[in-house]
Amino acid sequence: MKLDHVSFASEPDGYRATAERISDQLGVVPYDGGVHPRFGTRNLIFPLAGGHYLEVVEALEHPAALSTPFGQAVRTRSELGGGWMGWCVSVDDLSEVETRLERKAVDGNRTPESGEELKWLQIGVKGLIADPQLPFFIKWSADSSQHPSSYKTNEDVSIDTLQIAGDRDRLRDWLGTDDAKPIPEIHIDWSAPHGAPGIMSVTFETEKNGLVTI
């Protein structure tokens, strides 16, 4: 189990303008991640070090954005002004997660500017909607040989810390582990003020600007 990516919902002026502001802070140029036809959303991808990436995601005027959990999550966060929507962890086997959550994973796909269609299974977005501190889970298809972080790779910027308002024991229960540090490659800071749960900020280590918190 490892961090896969973090998701930032577009602000009122759209996902491209939102991504430009993030690009100025991080010194990373995003690429077009394409449309999620099943979810009614589209994204821009910031490839990062460590096999991670940041997506800026926007809901389209499409029925799927109203009827699917992922589309609903994106639309709702953007209607609140945009910002951190959630985070995602990758696993090698989703069957244990499906058993624990008592539901089946759903298919996802998109074709980024590379032209190679990416496919995956995901589960847990309903949990994120109910309790935004929780990540959702992803398993990339064996047919998708190119992880989003490996196209236009960038080793100068990495995710250092997620600051989360919530309960670390609740997170461990959701992840199905008792590990003290279930996502070992990053820091999780639980010192955020109590209130609405969710990601409060993400801190990146950059070669250009040092530590940058968004």
- pLDDT-based confidence at 192, cuts 50/70/90? confident
Instruction: Note the pLDDT of residue 196.
Output: 86
Neighbouring residues of 180: CB distance < 8 A, sequence distance ≥ 6: none
Residue pLDDT, tens place only, 130-178: 999 999 999 999 765 679 998 888 899 999 999 999 999 999 999 999 9
> Residue 130: which H helix or E strand, with range?
helix 125-130
- Confidence class for position 191, pLDDT limits 50, 70, 90: confident
Nearest-angstrom CA–CA distance, 88 and 184: 14
Q: Which domains does the chain possess?
A: 1-153 (3.10.180.10)
Q: What is the pTM of this model?
A: 0.95
Task: Name the average pLDDT for the chain.
Answer: 94
Q: What's the pLDDT at 143?
A: 66
Task: Report pLDDT for 160.
Answer: 97
CA–CA distance, 209 with 203 (Å, rounded to integer): 12
Asked if pLDDT for residue 30 goes beyond 90, the answer is yes
Model pLDDT, residue 145? 64
Strands of the sheet containing 106-110, edge to edge, are: 31-36, 41-47, 53-59, 2-9, 83-90, 136-140, 118-123, 106-110
Q: Can you read off the two tokens belonging to residue 135?
A: 């990540």
Distance CA 210, CA 8 (A): 21
The pLDDT of residue 157: 97
Can you give the pLDDT at residue 165?
A: 95
Phi-psi bin for 81: left (phi > 0), alpha (psi -120 to 50), beta? Answer: left
Q: Tell me the pLDDT band of 76, cut-offs 50, 70 and 90.
A: very high
Distance, CA of 10 to CA of 75 (rounded, Å)? 9
- Residues of the chain with pLDDT > 70: what percent? 99
Tokens 């991080």 identify what position? 26
Instruction: List all residues 6 or more positions away from 31 whose beta carbon is below 8 Å from its beta carbon.
Output: 44, 45, 47, 112, 113, 151, 152
